Amino acid sequence: MTVIDSTRPLRVAVMSFAHTHAHSYVQLLLATPDVDVRASDPGPYVEGELRGAAFAAELGVDYVDTYDELLAWKPDAVIVTSENARHRELVEKAAAAGAHILCEKPLATSREDGLAMKKAVDEAGVMLMVAFPVRFASTFATLKATYDKGSLGQLVAVRGSNNGKLPRERSWFTDPALSGGGALVDHVVHIADLLDGLMGATPVSVTAVANATLHADRARAETSGLVTITYDNGVIAAIDCSWSRPDTAPTWGGVRIVVAGTGGTAEVDFFGPRVTGLASATGAPVELPYGPDFDRELLRTFLATVRSGEQPQPDIAVGLRTLGIVLAAQESARTGRTVAVTL
């Protein structure tokens, strides 16, 4: 593994502006001392969406026209924020260039792509971290500490929900050819990662149902679902995933889990802290979240481990386990059967 000179700024490349998180990551990187940022977003993308050089200019980030030019800059780290189906191609490019990688979730859209990405980073000797920002909430750290010291006893069941608005800023989110699916893909992985980080248990089987009743005129994939996961420690987790928040809602949505054990129950609303009110001009409802920025903590951890050479969590193994849950959920929803999770 290449040792990075601690006396120079860290070079971080952003590959693609497809994911909406690219906006947040670039802004945070530009505000981080001792970090140089450069980006590329050659497409293809839908005409009319703010992408490429125009979006870079709005963000104020240095831009090059191709990924080859971007990697010729010899970045220390790369952030992959492309469409889900294009993760493999960009991860393989970044790994071949010797850069450590932060890859947006889900890791991939197929088991084949996920395993190919693992092979690429293993052979290149670089680290890959999956972008699961909710894991970096202080409330999750408190929940984990409570679980680890045995206060919850033996876990029995988990109920989780990740409900948000239909993604409209980027049309690819509802195109299964690029996203890999709909709400099952977009939302199940966040809670699956939290449970992976909390319990360290292996998912065994999944039973799922899904439909496209909501937003039937706009979405090309499932817009709501219920996923039940059985783990090898006996825990059964139920995840409510949907794009059910109305377009007029003041915030995008939220993530919640309830963890039940023989010693007690814990409930966490990860995006709960907020000030509510009405806009003075329109009377429309307003919700202003406060507290730590999960994206900032995610990036801080990633950049620190790029400097230190210590593999950050969640790693590619977590990405593969959560991908296995999603693929099993899709098969179960399609066939009506309980499906074994293949890692």
3-state class (DSSP) for residue 140: helix
Q: What is the mean pLDDT of residues 94-122?
A: 98
Predicted TM-score (pTM) of this structure = 0.94
HSE at residue 31, side-chain half, CA atoms within 13 A, is: 11
3-state class (DSSP) for residue 109: coil
Q: How far apart are CA 288 and CA 275, in angstroms?
A: 5
Give how far the C-alpha of residue 150 lies from the chain's centroid of Cα atoms, to the nearest Å. 29
Please state, rounded to an integer, the average pLDDT across all residues of the chain. Answer: 94
3-state class (DSSP) for residue 137: coil
Q: Please, which pLDDT band fits residue 237 given cuts at 50, 70 and 90?
A: very high
Q: What is the mean pLDDT of residues 258-273?
A: 93
**Contact residues for 254 (Cβ-Cβ < 8 A; gap 6+):** 161, 162, 163, 164, 269, 270, 271, 272
pLDDT tens sequence across 37-65? 999 999 898 888 999 999 999 999 999 99
What percentage of residues in the chain have a pLDDT greater than 70? 97
Alpha helices in 200-314 (DSSP H): 294-308
Q: Which of 258, 228, 260, 232 is nearest to 157 (CA)?
A: 260
Q: Which of 7, 68, 15 is nearest to 37 (CA)?
A: 15
DSSP percent split of the chain into helix, strand, coil, nearest 5: 35, 25, 35
Q: What is the mean pLDDT of residues 275-296?
A: 76
Q: At residue 189, does pLDDT exceed 90? A: yes
Query: In the 8-state DSSP scheme, what is residue 4?
Result: P
Helix axes 21-30, 52-59, angle to 10 degrees: 40
13 within 8 A of 73, measured Cβ to Cβ: yes
Q: How far apart are CA 180 and CA 323, in angstroms?
A: 11
Give how far the C-alpha of residue 326 lies from the chain's centroid of Cα atoms, to the nearest Å. 13
pLDDT tens sequence across 310-331? 999 999 999 999 999 999 999 9
Q: How far apart are CA 163 and CA 319, in angstroms?
A: 21
Q: How far apart are CA 24 and CA 251, in angstroms?
A: 16
**Contact residues for 231 (Cβ-Cβ < 8 A; gap 6+):** 195, 199, 201, 202, 203, 204, 237
